[in-house]
Structure 1
């Protein structure tokens, strides 16, 4: 036995995480290497003499590879390949297409349907799960998606991405120009739990009472300085043009935006700041501002949404507030805490990534159109 082999087997023999059978086999080989007979190994390890002889002999013939289990034929398959294929085909159909009043399949539902269709006389849910796992099929899961609806998606998204890179209309931004990402987080509720929340303890997570009394809801409007990671927010009873204007006043009357050459406001297409009317309204109030809209249904391009996700995880969940004043105080305190240590987000999605994304979408649409055209029945031609 070489030095590396002995070290590897010694480590395996003392492992607390490896499979027990592998640990015992390593111990047998090490005892044999130390001069123990098969009978001595059996007594020392509490195993049969034949077991000691088996693994000692396999290691002598094949080395470390001999300590692995040999392939087994296993129990004969109970279901034919055709039955397995029918299970997978059924899982790839929507339940509504088969007349079943379900939104998606579970393994138990599929097993019942297999029996009802006469595919097999009996089949368990665990068997269905193993069959589907072979092709990574998970019909009980779903993902949502959305087509690009904005005809100017590439242009609008490109302007936003350029601003994140400190570029506007092909020109680098100066030190006295700022980029603000703004939006509203609506319907933040104050849920007063019927019993106080219990802190975590030994072998116990934090416990939050399920029942609560509603204490109203408010909206939180935030303006995030993209390149300096500073947030200015305010709370309002509702959203709309007036609350958004109050937020703009709060930002534009403070330094450095008050004396900036230009301040770019990135917003989505919400009713508070939608369309050319909102652009004109902002410019009349503050001539050094430039409003830039994200494409329709593309709020993921707005960096303030990342801040809102942090706010949701760290401040608002679980929700346990006595009233709206406590909610507002918590939001304001977190905003101050965040501004003390925050750094700009490491935004990596660039114009090049956008072009690649749009090219993949175009290829997908062209392939889908070609497939539909191939399956379209041919029209009769005139003689």
Structure 2
């Protein structure tokens, strides 16, 4: 009878546990090692004033003075390497209780760069497709916007950009001002793309235009992007941006307190 359970129920597996019990206990456990949050070190010594300047512009203020009616705020960036992936078998449309089916194999149909300028307060987007990114493609986008009313005759047009090579540093500021004297370039802090509202628009482009990436060629990509711009401009409202300079100061103060408690982690900030 050794090794046999009571009443002939067979060998008892000591320490065994069902899969459902494992799932239930992991769900209730305080430690969840499969979950994580991203963070990034603040590398820009002027992080606070740079970020605050942008947040103030979103709140229609510049250097402590309210913006005029003929002041505009443009958030701009580039989405690199938008590919045309030609699937080897036709995509199957979704059906009842069945998700869309996209074939894993594809043929590369080339790639392009999508540049966009987003008017923060008017929810209007200007986009263009270029073979690649760079100074010339970016200035093409600037010209597209700045030769259009109301920006052509505006008092000031603030251009919020990141620190990419297409518009980095004082040289880019001077280049923009020389081409369009009423344009003011404002850089985000280094590694702070979350302060640039156009990234929200690019997120929508990725979800609603690019995915699941089933295009016959780059012309179809361009057509889809233009059609999305038209619909967006006809229906969109400005983003309800809630993160203010007060929130920024509170965040940095909390990070300073964390520094005192955990030396070596002084530069941790939320990543977009």
Question: 275, 279, 284: which one pairs with 2:178?
Answer: 284
Whether 1:260 and 2:154 are equivalent positions in the alignment is yes
Question: 350, 374, 379: which one pairs with 2:244?
Answer: 350
Q: Which has the higher helix share?
A: 1
- Cα deviations across residues 13-53 of structure 1 (Å, max 9, x unaligned)? xxxxxxxxxxxxxxxxxxxxxxxxxxxxxxxxxxxxxxxxx
Q: Which has the higher strand share?
A: 2
Aligned residue for 2:220?
326
Paired with 1:362 and 1:312, the residues of 2 have a C-alpha distance of 36
Aligned residue for 2:270?
none
Runs of 4+ off more than 3 Å: 121-135
Output the TM-score relative to the length of structure 2.
0.88
Aligned residue for 1:138?
32
Paired with 1:197 and 1:124, the residues of 2 have a C-alpha distance of 42
Question: 316, 320, 341: which one pairs with 2:210?
Answer: 316
Aligned residue for 2:8?
none
* Residue segments in structure 1 that go unaligned for 5+ positions in a row: 1-120, 372-383
Paired with 2:224 and 2:88, the residues of 1 have a C-alpha distance of 20
Whether 1:300 and 2:194 are equivalent positions in the alignment is yes
Output the TM-score relative to the length of structure 1.
0.63
Paired with 1:341 and 1:174, the residues of 2 have a C-alpha distance of 25
Give the superposed CA RMSD: 1.8
Whether 1:272 and 2:202 are equivalent positions in the alignment is no
Q: Which has the larger radius of gyration?
A: 1
Paired with 2:250 and 2:125, the residues of 1 have a C-alpha distance of 32
- Residue 147 of structure 1 and its aligned partner are, at CA, apart by 1.6
- Residue 244 of structure 1 and its aligned partner are, at CA, apart by 0.2
Whether 1:217 and 2:111 are equivalent positions in the alignment is yes
Paired with 2:99 and 2:108, the residues of 1 have a C-alpha distance of 25
> Using CA pairs below 8 Å that are at least 6 residues apart, which structure has the higher relative contact order?
2
- Cα deviations across residues 232-273 of structure 1 (Å, max 9, x unaligned)? 010011100000000000000010100001000000011100
- Residue 211 of structure 1 and its aligned partner are, at CA, apart by 1.1
Aligned residue for 1:175?
69
